[in-house]
Amino acid sequence: MTALAVSAAPSRWWHSRAVLRFINHRLALLGLAMITLLTLACVLGPYLLPYDSLYIDLRARFAPPMTGHHYLGTDPLGRDLAARLLMAGRISLLVGFSAMLLSIVIGALVGVIAGYRGGWIGAVLMRTVDGFLSFPSIFLVLALAAALRPSPIMITIIIAITKWMEVARIVEAEVRSLREREFVQAGRMLGLSGTHIMFREILPNAMGPIIVAASLTVARAILLEAYISFLGYGIQPPLPSWGNMLNGAQQYLASAPWLAIIPGAAITIAVTSFNFIGDGLRDALDVRDDHI
């Protein structure tokens, strides 16, 4: 029923039906290729470019793309846009990915406990999920970011705090449906502890939906980081992120449109890739199609 169950028959994991179906999904492969290239560029690129991302050169301000070795032009302080874009990519991708991991951990923890224990503990936990879902996430994130000091780690935590609910709901539903199954009853009869049953027996069976939610959560976390950094409450300069590169780009829209267009395109490419991958994983892992 999930990837783990399917992989019992074939001898190698890359022969499994889930992997084959993912490979057949062209958009997912395209997404995977794009995100691999983007990550490689962000990791290796800054070493290959002739300019440092923080090097200010007031003689070269507002250079349009393809002037000299400034392949993407320069910003209002004459810093090389290509170098900044790639350094920003490191931060944005890292924040997005870590926020996803953290929110998956929180969501899985809450979901498993709520689903397995049930009763009033489950009710309180799931109503808390509903409560968090009632706030428009950006209002919550901005209020938190303004109150706490916005370091990259804090931003990651804040994003995770507002993005864990979906995973919690998925895991809770899955665990609730598995709770009375034979293998769980067998575990109980063998005298396994509740923690062991919850995390070692039941949770692995919910891995399919969690993986799909994970890839979509990365996409949303990158977007959310971009939103709050654009509004000035996220990653703080001089540290570049895709969002804060766009902060202030609006006033130069007429004279230097590349300042706004290029970082936004990078965000769109990264987020689209993760959405494509998520879509492919959903097909491959046979997850019920109740989101888009």
Which helix (H) or strand (E) segment holds residue 199: the answer is: none
Nearer to other proteins, 137 or 236 (CB): 137
Q: How far is the CB of 158 from other proteins (least distance, A)?
A: 10
Nearer to other proteins, 1 or 147 (CB): 147
* Dihedral over Cα of 123, 109, 99, 282: its sign: negative
Per CB under 8 A, residues contacting other proteins are 27, 127-128, 130-140, 142-144, 146-148, 219, 223, 226-227, 230-231, 233, 243, 246, 249-250, 253-254, 257, 260-261, 264, 267-268, 271-272, 275-276, 279, 289, 292
What count of residues does the chain have? 292
Nearer to other proteins, 106 or 133 (CB): 133
Q: How many CB atoms lie within 10 A of CB 272?
A: 16
Question: Which of 208, 202, 114, 119 is closest to 165 using CA atoms?
Answer: 114
Q: How far is the CB of 137 from other proteins (least distance, A)?
A: 6
Q: How far is the CB of 257 from other proteins (least distance, A)?
A: 5
Report the C-alpha gap between 270 and 262 in whole angstroms: 13
DSSP per residue over 110-129, as a string? Answer: HHHHHHHH-HHHHHHHHHHH
Q: Coil, strand, or helix at residue 108?
A: helix
Q: How far is the CB of 288 from other proteins (least distance, A)?
A: 12
Nearer to other proteins, 122 or 243 (CB): 243
Nearer to other proteins, 208 or 243 (CB): 243
Q: How far is the CB of 165 from other proteins (least distance, A)?
A: 11
Spell 126-165 as b/e; 16+ CB within 10 A means b: beebeebeeeebeeebbebbeeeebebeebbbbbbbbbbb
Q: How far is the CB of 108 from other proteins (least distance, A)?
A: 20
Question: Which of 3, 87, 2 is closest to 45 using CA atoms?
Answer: 87
Nearer to other proteins, 49 or 102 (CB): 102
